[in-house]
C-alpha cells in the first residue's frame, strides 16, 4: 500500500526564474540521494538530516519515502528541504527503511509530477526510487514503455527506470535490477525501496558519487556525499563501486558486482571543482584539498603581477587561498555573499532583476580600492555573471581585474546529470579565451588546462571531461540546428 498523506499541490511552488536567484554562471546542481536502513522506526528523520546536508545539490524539490514492512508512505513537494518538511510532515513517516531525494531538474521540468522519490505499485509490492544522474537513451526507453502500454506520469528519466525495473522478470529485486541495468546508458546512482530492504547501485562508468556508511545506532546509510553520512554519525564509510549492487536490510548488508565496471571510467570532474561540499571525499580525494591543488596549479600556469587575490565565494575560496600562497600575493575577501537570496517565494521587480549580481554579492571596497585584483572563480558557463562581477570590483575602485578560472573553458554540454546549457549557450563554445576576456571586461583571463587540472587531482584518467574536450564516454544525442544526431566520438 502506498500512502501520500499530504497534498503537495497546496504548497506554493518555488520560482524557477533564474533572474530571481541571479544566475551565478556556474553549472546547476545535480541531485542528492539518501537511503537509511535503521533498527528503529525513525529512518525518515535520519534521512531528513541527511537531505539537509545534501541541500546544495538541488533546491527545487525534496521528498522522502519510508517503509515499515507493510506499506510505503511518501511525502514530497517543491521547495527546500526545510520548506517541504516539518514535524507534522515527518510524524506519519514511520518505518525502519527510508529513501530521500533533493532535486535540481536536468531531465524533465520542475513540477510536482517530477518530484522524487517515485513510488509505484507493482505485482511484487510497492517500489520506490531516488535517482541522481541522467540516462542518455531515456527517449528510446520511454518509447518502448509506451508501446507496451505503460502509463508514464512524468517527463523524468527516473520514472522510466522505476517502471522498467517494475516490469522486469526475476526472482528478486536484485535479480531484476541486474537484468535491466545493462539497458541503461548514462549516469545513475540509485536508492531503491523494495519491500523489506533497500537496494543501492551505481552505473558502471561511475559518473555520480555514492557512498555507504555504518550508523552509530546500528544499520547503514547511503548518500551522494560522504559529508551527509558524517552528518548523521556514520563511520566505516566507503564508495559504492561502479556496477556494484548493495542490499541494506536491518543491520545487515550484502553486495555483489551486478555488471562489470566499464574500462573507461568517467567520474565527474565537477564534483571536485564545484558540486561537492568541501568535506566530501570523492575518489579517495578530499574535495577541499583538491580545490587547493587546483588553485596551486592555476597560479603556476597563469601568473600575473597583482596586489591582492580574492575568491568568488564559496567553492573557489580554497583555490584562491592556494593561488595566493603560491604566488606570494596577499589573499583577502572582496565579496560578501548574500546567502539567502533566492530562498523566498517573493519575486523581484524588473528593476531589481536589472541590478543583476548585486542581488547576490556586495563588495568590500576597502580591500579593493586602487589595487590590481586577481579574482578566482570555479568556472564560466554562459558568461552572464563574470562580467557583472568584474564591474562590481571595478566600481569598488580596483585598478585592474585579472580573472582566473580553476577549470578549462566549458565548450560542450553535459548529458550525464549536470545542467550546463547547450552549445549555443556556452560562451566557451562560441568564443576563444581572449574574446571571453574582452566580453567580461577583464584585464586578463586565464583558465586552468585539462592537463594541469588532472595533475591537481593526481589522476591520469578515470574522469569525464567531456564538457571541456567534447570526448563523451557514452554515445549521446547532439542537437545540431533543428535535428538530433547520435554522436559516438570526439567533437571536432
Q: Is position 464 annotated as part of the catalytic site? A: no
Which residue has 533566492 as its cell numbers? 342
Q: What's the CA gap between 325 and 371, in Å, rounded?
A: 18
Which residue has 529512518 as its cell numbers? 43
Pairing of strands 125-135, 118-122: antiparallel
Report helix, strand or coil for 193.
strand
Residue 390 burial (CB count, 10 A): 23
Q: What's the CA gap between 420 and 106, in Å, rounded?
A: 10
Q: What's the CA gap between 156 and 134, in Å, rounded?
A: 9
Q: What's the CA gap between 209 and 200, in Å, rounded?
A: 12
Q: What's the CA gap between 462 and 206, in Å, rounded?
A: 9
Q: Own/partner pairs for 426-429, CB < 8 Å, 24+ apart?
A: 426/381, 426/382, 427/380, 427/381, 427/382, 427/383, 428/380, 428/381
Report helix, strand or coil for 67.
strand
Q: What's the CA gap between 184 and 182, in Å, rounded?
A: 5
Report helix, strand or coil for 466.
helix
Question: Are residues 414 and 470 in contact, defined by beta-carbon separation less than 8 angstroms?
Answer: no
CA distances from 61 to 44, 64, 106, 114, 341 (A): 16, 11, 13, 9, 17
Q: 232 CB contacts (<8 Å, ≥6 apart)? A: 36, 46, 49, 50, 53, 215, 221
Instruction: Give, in degrees to the nearest 5, the angle at Cα 346 between 344 and 349.
Output: 130
Residue 221 burial (CB count, 10 A): 29
Active site residues: 31
Amino acid at each position: 500500500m502506498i500512502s501520500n498523506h499530504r497534498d503537495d499541490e497546496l504548497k506554493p511552488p518555488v520560482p524557477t526564474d533564474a533572474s530571481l536567484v541571479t544566475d551565478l554562471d556556474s553549472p546547476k546542481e545535480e541531485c542528492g540521494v539518501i537511503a537509511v536502513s535503521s533498527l528503529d522506526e525513525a529512518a525518515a528523520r535520519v534521512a531528513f538530516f541527511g537531505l539537509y546536508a545534501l541541500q546544495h545539490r538541488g533546491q527545487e524539490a525534496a521528498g522522502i519515502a519510508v517503509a515499515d514492512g507493510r506499506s510505503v508512505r511518501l511525502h514530497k513537494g517543491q521547495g527546500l528541504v526545510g520548506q517541504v518538511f516539518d514535524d507534522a510532515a515527518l510524524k506519519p513517516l514511520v518505518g525502519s527503511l527510508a529513501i530521500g531525494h533533493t532535486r535540481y531538474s536536468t531531465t524533465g521540468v520542475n513540477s510536482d509530477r517530477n518530484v522524487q522519490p517515485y513510488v509505484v505499485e507493482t505485482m511484487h509490492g510497492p517500489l520506490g526510487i531516488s535517482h541522481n544522474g541522467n540516462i542518455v537513451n531515456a527517449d528510446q526507453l520511454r518509447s518502448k514503455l509506451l508501446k507496451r502500454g505503460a502509463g508514464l506520469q512524468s517527463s523524468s528519466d527516473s520514472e522510466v527506470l522505476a517502471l522498467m525495473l517494475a516490469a522486469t522478470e526475476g526472482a528478486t529485486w536484485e535479480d531484476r535490477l541486474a537484468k535491466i541495468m545493462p539497458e541503461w546508458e548514462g549516469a545513475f546512482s540509485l536508492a531503491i525501496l523494495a519491500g523489506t530492504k533497500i537496494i543501492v547501485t551505481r552505473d558502471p562508468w561511475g559518473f555520480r558519487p555514492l557512498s555507504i556508511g555504518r550508523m552509530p545506532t546500528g544499520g547503514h546509510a547511503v548518500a551522494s556525499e560522504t559529508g551527509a553520512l558524517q552528518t548523521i554519525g556514520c563511520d566505516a564509510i566507503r564508495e559504492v563501486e561502479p556496477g556494484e549492487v548493495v542490499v541494506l536490510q536491518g543491520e545487515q548488508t550484502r553486495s555483489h558486482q551486478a555488471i562489470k565496471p566499464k574500462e573507461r571510467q568517467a567520474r565527474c570532474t565537477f564534483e571536485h571543482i564545484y558540486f561537492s561540499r568541501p568535506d566530501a571525499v570523492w575518489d579517495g580525494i578530499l574535495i577541499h584539498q583538491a580545490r587547493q591543488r587546483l588553485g596551486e596549479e592555476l597560479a603556476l600556469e597563469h601568473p600575473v603581477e597583482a596586489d591582492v587575490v580574492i575568491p568568488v565565494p564559496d567553492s573557489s575560496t580554497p583555490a584562491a587561498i592556494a593561488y595566493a600562497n603560491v604566488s606570494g600575493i596577499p589573499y583577502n575577501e572582496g565579496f560578501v555573499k548574500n546567502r539567502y537570496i533566492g530562498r523566498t517565494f517573493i519575486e523581484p521587480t524588473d528593476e531589481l532583476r536589472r541590478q543583476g549580481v548585486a542581488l547576490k554579492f556586495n563588495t568590500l571596497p576597502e580591500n579593493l580600492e586602487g589595487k590590481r585584483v586577481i579574482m578566482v572563480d570555479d568556472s564560466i558557463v554562459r558568461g552572464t555573471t563574470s562580467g557583472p562581477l568584474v564591474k562590481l570590483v571595478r566600481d569598488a575602485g580596483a585598478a585592474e581585474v585579472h580573472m582566473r578560472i580553476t577549470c578549462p573553458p566549458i565548450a560542450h554540454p553535459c548529458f550525464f546529470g549536470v545542467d550546463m546549457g547547450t552549445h549555443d549557450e556556452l560562451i566557451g563554445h562560441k568564443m576563444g579565451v581572449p574574446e571571453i576576456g574582452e566580453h567580461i571586461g577583464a584585464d586578463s583571463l586565464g583558465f586552468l588546462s585539462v592537463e594541469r587540472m588532472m595533475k591537481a587531482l593526481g589522476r591520469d584518467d578515470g574522469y569525464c571531461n567531456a564538457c571541456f574536450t567534447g570526448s563523451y564516454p557514452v554515445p549521446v544525442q547532439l542537437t545540431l540546428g533543428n535535428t538530433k544526431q547520435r554522436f559516438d566520438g570526439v567533437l571536432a
